[in-house]
Amino acid sequence: MARDRKPSRSRHARIAAVSVAALAIGGTALAEVPVSAAGRPKGHDVSSHQKNVNWPKAKSKGATFVYVKATESHTYRNPYYGQQYHGARNAGLVRGAYHFALPHKSWGRTQAAYFVRNGGGWRADGWTLPPALDIEYNPYGKHKCYGLSKARMVSWIKSFSDEVKRRTGRRPVIYTNYNWWKVCTGNSSAFASNHALWLARYGSTAGALPKGWKFWTFWQYDNGGSLPGDQNLFNGSLNQLKKFARG
């Protein structure tokens, strides 16, 4: 997903139930929804890069859901979060918040607490998606696993998840890239049984899933298209999307 801030170096890289999500960066950018996923609810994700979003226009173009970036690490909050998160709901979209993880900056529990305090909450109203953890390649340095061992990364994610569950009652959706997950967690299957998968892969199919997951809940298939921000699909019907949101 897009970062809200400029990297500390000149580099700027890119890389979310009950599980219905998966995607690994790679492949050719698409101009249209993949034929294999046609008919599924269409959505997107946004950050401060999209600024004040025209939500009625997004809905008119077919958006049914959106994930809004709330926080990054334990110090940054998206300054457009309010307009994006509440504006989406006012326009009739199912929406949720996501956190961009920087595991080398502070422990998982610390970042989860900051996230929930600053927009990463959840309520069983059918319009609020569970909080999401965006964990992927390090955009700010050469250590793509943030200097953590595979075991330490798994522990970090568990710490984040446990705190989100304690504070909201839901496990976070996990947004990741198959290749990063394989390299940085050792392709851990520790989260597949109780975390929805939001997989990022730019191509005509979602491709391989991280170990343990049998299907994707959300699939980010492109980083640009008819909707503001990244383009996503939900693996089910609109009624199932709302049921998933309710928990």
Do residues 105 and 228 touch, judged by C-beta distance below 8 A? Answer: no
Per-position b or e across 229-242, b if 16+ CB within 10 A of its CB: bbbbbbbbeeebbb
DSSP secondary structure code for residue 126 in this structure:
S
Give the integer Cα–Cα distance in Å for 238 and 136: 28
Catalytic residue among 4, 32, 72, 136: 136
- Is 136 part of the annotated catalytic residue set? yes
Which sequence spans correspond to the domains of the chain? Answer: 42-246
- Is 45 part of the annotated catalytic residue set? yes
Catalytic residue among 134, 163, 222, 230: 134
Do residues 139 and 14 touch, judged by C-beta distance below 8 A? Answer: yes
For every one of its 247 residues, what pLDDT tens digit does the chain have, with 9 covering 90 and above? Answer: 755 654 333 323 333 333 333 333 333 334 467 766 678 999 999 999 999 999 999 999 999 999 999 999 999 999 999 999 999 999 999 999 999 999 999 999 999 999 999 999 999 999 999 999 999 999 999 999 999 999 999 999 999 999 999 999 999 999 999 999 999 999 999 999 999 999 999 989 999 999 999 999 999 999 999 999 999 999 999 999 999 999 9
- Is 125 part of the annotated catalytic residue set? no
Give the integer Cα–Cα distance in Å for 132 and 176: 10
Q: Which CATH architecture has domain 42-246?
A: Alpha-Beta Barrel (3.20)
Catalytic residue among 4, 45, 72, 163: 45
Find the DSSP H helices in the chain.
55-60, 81-90, 108-117, 150-168, 178-185, 238-246
Please name which of 198, 148, 164, 234 lies closest in space to residue 15, comparing C-alpha atoms: 198
